[in-house]
Amino acid sequence: MQIPDAPRPTLRRGLIALIACAVLGAGAALADEIEDANALLKAGQHRQALEHVNKALAAKPRDPQARFLKGVILTEQGGTKEAIEIFSKLTQDFPELPEPYNNLAVIYASQGQYEKARTALEQSIRTHPSYATAYENLGDVYAKLASQAYDKALQLDKSNTGAQNKLSLVREIARGPAPVAAAAVKEPAKPAVTAAQKPPAAVAQKPASVQEKPAPAPAPDPTAEILKTVNGWAQAWSKKDINAYLAYYAKDFKTPGGEPRAAWEKTRRARIEGAKSISVGISSAKVTLNGTHQATVSFRQAYRSDRFKANSSKTLVLEKSPDGRWQIQQEKSG
Amino acid sequence: MTRLALFFAAIACALSALAATATPEDRLSSVFQAIEANRRDEALKRVDALIRDHPNFRLAHLVRGDLLLARARPLETFGNVTKNVPPEKIDGLRAEALARLRAQRQRPSEDRLPRLVLQMSAEQKHAFLVDSRRSRLYVFANDAGRPRLVADYYVTLGKNGVEKTREGDQKTPLGVYYVTGNLPRAKLTDFYGSGAFPISYPNEWDRRLGRNGHGIWLHGVPSDVYSRPPRASDGCIVLANSDLDSVARYVQVGQTPVIIADEIEWADPAAVEADRRSLAAALEQWRADWQSRDTAKYLEHYSAQFRSGNQNFAAWAAHKRKVNAAKSWIKVGLARVAMFRYPRGRDFVVVTFDQDYRSDGLSNVMRKRQYWLKEGARWKIVYEGAG
């Protein structure tokens, strides 16, 4: 399948990846603009991010990556009408991409248009049956629709505006194998952007504490230990041993939506308890050490529950706690 | 090829005709069938279509909620409402679901007849029977005096159940009644929906037992609902508006019996016929004894607990002895006889007929009603009056 305006890339069926076409095809300048825009978006500087994206779009108006990013920025800025236009147009121009559907759904859901959100998510899944984010979002949309149906059944007030939309907006189309390992990072529609800045600060404290003990003994290669940790995490998840599963996450774990730890734990509990059976398989794991106390593990994750199956790529950032255990500090999927 | 296409066209045609005649309840039942067959997508499609056609069918919304929620997480119960709402709100819909499903699945066997209907009169084209435990109204056509089930409908009855005794007790009466009027929609508020048919509560027997209250009707539902929970009225028998419209076609004001029972007993037709013959024979003997002016034999048909208006048995006997003795001849003819068992009574039957009385003095034709009770081995009259 050839994508118009994207010089080389072809989409392999079943793969959630439109390789960052900017990096591969277009000029380096375009790639830079998009990369800058991405960084600025993550830093919460929407206006500046938009400027860079617009520059990229001036050079290449049909570029899906840039258009998508613009949609994300506008969504987060509250420019939902224009964002809907952008994502809708993307679904027309690139019907094989699941992400624009997902984000359309997120916007619709935030407006309380759950039937539209459902249609978009179902399309997203139709294009990519293993797209876990869309599945999770769809689950939330179904729950919302169910709640509306119950309200009609019981003739309750329609004033249930209190329920916050907690669907995940996807920020990027492509998950490139590039060192910038930002996959489709799950963020809520209105993320607390400051949360994104917290973890680096927390990480920064670690080396400081290490410095208190000068001349640490050369550590043995911890790769085996790290892999053991990741396998243990997958097993706890598979066994639905929620407490053990949660214990694999560091105290300063960067929750995917920037939500409070307690809220995230609650969601995880509900999701895991909600499944009758879960099996999580891990393959092709690759460990990268970043110093002695931090490591990045990338792998293929085969998730299978009584409700859905998803094969996806996952990256865990682990850190070594003072008591010597490796714990998950970040979890990224796409 | 063409033939095949024609074949499918015919099937499609038949299916669409079926869809057109399927009641909302039939369609709800087909939703449950799909759920049971583990075809949840199909179930959701069906319930979506049902709601499209009947947006006020609240039970359908409840089922739809479950089907959607099941996609998000496992259900814990039927009507898995996640919000904090008073449980009785959901319980009403659950009870409606059960009543409707049970009615769809447990059809009365075709070779059984309701014990309550011994004989319909020639003029009575239909009889209505209400089974309160099943929340169901059955319509029977008159097949040469024998009832034949032609339709049945879900009904809502009194909040506090059945056996009404007092004004305001929010119960539905149990007994043998008749439709006494027809109130068209234009004369009613929206609450009563597409129309109302008052029935004859309190009847002779109710009054004798000191029961009071009034205004028990068959009626429809407000325009913002399709149906109401099984126990929700103030004592009336409430039907979906479309169902009330169907039932209206069967009503003959002043003729159509409405028999309300705890539970309809379905019996072997031969047993029902034996009951009918036994009572018909007693009635005929009563007529013959009256005509023969053998007052002692005639009075043997009356129970010691007989009462009519303010006359007890002694007063009645004295009156009849005096009247009969003054006649040199009496001729009594009975026509249009109807006999319905009284619910909850063991052998207790309401008999209504046209009485053609002639004598050398007075002659008259009247509609008469008697309540017959089996005392020991003999049928006896406990009430007699104008019908």
Q: Return the SS3 of B198.
A: strand
Burial letters for B111-143: b for 16+ Cβ neighbours within 10 Å, e otherwise? Answer: ebbbbbbbbbbeebebbbbbbbebbbbbbbbbe
Residue A320's pLDDT is what? 87
Contacts of A149 in chain B (CB under 8 A): 61-62, 64-65, 68
Rounded to whole angstroms, what are the CA distances from A102 to A123, A301, A312, B148?
Answer: 9, 21, 16, 58
Range with lowest mean pLDDT among A120-124, A200-204, B250-254: A200-204
Residue A167's pLDDT is what? 76
Which of B66, B71, B74 is facing A276, going by the closest CB pair?
B74
Task: Give me the mean pLDDT over the B310-320 stretch.
Answer: 95
- pTM of structure: 0.69
User: Is the ipTM here above 0.85?
Assistant: no
Residue A269's pLDDT is what? 85
At residue A174 the predicted structure's pLDDT band, cuts being 50, 70 and 90, is: very low
Contacts of A278 in chain B (CB under 8 A): none
What pLDDT digit, counting tens, does each position of A128-144 carry? 887 888 888 999 999 99
Contact A153 B65 (CB under 8 A): yes
Residue B20's pLDDT is what? 55
What pLDDT digit, counting tens, does each position of A207-248 carry? 333 333 334 444 456 788 888 888 889 889 988 888 899 999
Tell me what percent of the residues of chain A surpass a pLDDT of 90: 25
What pLDDT digit, counting tens, does each position of B204-251 carry? 999 999 999 999 999 999 999 999 999 999 999 999 999 999 999 999
Extract the tokens encoding B387: 């019908």
Can the peptide bond before residue B173 be classed as cis, meaning omega within 30 degrees of 0?
A: no
Compare all CA atoms of chain B with the CA of A274 and give the residue at the minimum distance: B73
At residue A21 the predicted structure's pLDDT band, cuts being 50, 70 and 90, is: very low
Contacts of A126 in chain B (CB under 8 A): none
- What domains are defined for chain B? 2-105 (no CATH), 113-267 (2.40.440.10), 269-386 (3.10.450.50)
Task: Give me the mean pLDDT over the B296-322 stretch.
Answer: 95
Contact A146 B79 (CB under 8 A): no
Positions of E strands within B132-191: 136-143, 146-154, 157-158, 175-178, 183-184
Residue A307's pLDDT is what? 67
Picking from B40, B56, B71, B93 by the largest number of A CB atoms within 10 A of its own CB, the best residue to mutate is B71
Task: Give me the mean pLDDT over the A63-89 stretch.
Answer: 93
Task: Enumerate residues 6+ apart whose C-beta is below 8 A from B378.
Answer: B282
Range with lowest mean pLDDT among A83-92, A195-204, B47-56, B344-353: A195-204
A179 pLDDT more than 50? no
Residue A166's pLDDT is what? 63
Which of A140, A143, A152 is facing B58, going by the closest CB pair?
A152
Task: Give me the mean pLDDT over the B103-114 stretch.
Answer: 90
Compare all CA atoms of chain A with the CA of B58 and give the residue at the minimum distance: A153
Task: Enumerate residues 6+ apart whose C-beta is below 8 A from A326.
Answer: A222, A225, A226, A229, A295, A318, A319, A320
Total beta-carbon pairs less than 8 A apart between chain A and chain B: 68
Contact B79 A153 (CB under 8 A): yes
Contact B66 A147 (CB under 8 A): no
DSSP state of A34: H
Which of A149, A154, A274 is facing B89, going by the closest CB pair?
A154
Range with lowest mean pLDDT among A207-211, B218-222, B299-303, B371-375: A207-211
Contacts of B79 in chain A (CB under 8 A): 150, 153
CATH class of the domain comprising A21-177 = mainly alpha
Q: Select the more confidently predicted residue: A213 or B137.
A: B137
Compare all CA atoms of chain B with the CA of A146 and give the residue at the minimum distance: B65
Task: Give me the mean pLDDT over the B293-300 stretch.
Answer: 96
Instruction: Give residue limits of the domains in chain A.
Output: 21-177, 193-333
Compare all CA atoms of chain B with the CA of A155 and give the residue at the minimum distance: B58
Task: Give me the mean pLDDT over the A194-214 stretch.
Answer: 34
Contact A274 B74 (CB under 8 A): yes
Positions of E strands within B54-200: 113-114, 117-119, 126-131, 136-143, 146-154, 157-158, 175-178, 183-184, 195-198
Task: Give me the mean pLDDT over the A150-166 stretch.
Answer: 65
Residue A217's pLDDT is what? 44
Which of A142, A148, A154 is facing B85, going by the closest CB pair?
A154
CATH class of the domain comprising A193-333 = alpha beta
Compare all CA atoms of chain B with the CA of A305 and give the residue at the minimum distance: B73
Residue B121's pLDDT is what? 95
Mean pLDDT of the residues in chain B: 93
Residue A278's pLDDT is what? 85
Task: Give me the mean pLDDT over the A29-34 stretch.
Answer: 80
A181 pLDDT more than 70? no
Residue A239's pLDDT is what? 87
Task: Enumerate residues 6+ apart whose C-beta is below 8 A from B213.
Answer: B164, B165, B166, B167, B168, B169, B173, B201, B202, B235
Give how far B73 is from chain A: nearest CA, Å. Answer: 6
Mean pLDDT of the residues in chain A: 74
Contact B83 A150 (CB under 8 A): yes
What pLDDT digit, counting tens, does each position of A279-301 carry? 888 877 888 888 888 888 888 88
Give how far A140 is from chain B: nearest CA, Å. Answer: 7
Contacts of A156 in chain B (CB under 8 A): 83, 85
Compare all CA atoms of chain B with the CA of A308 and give the residue at the minimum distance: B71
Task: Give me the mean pLDDT over the B169-198 stretch.
Answer: 96
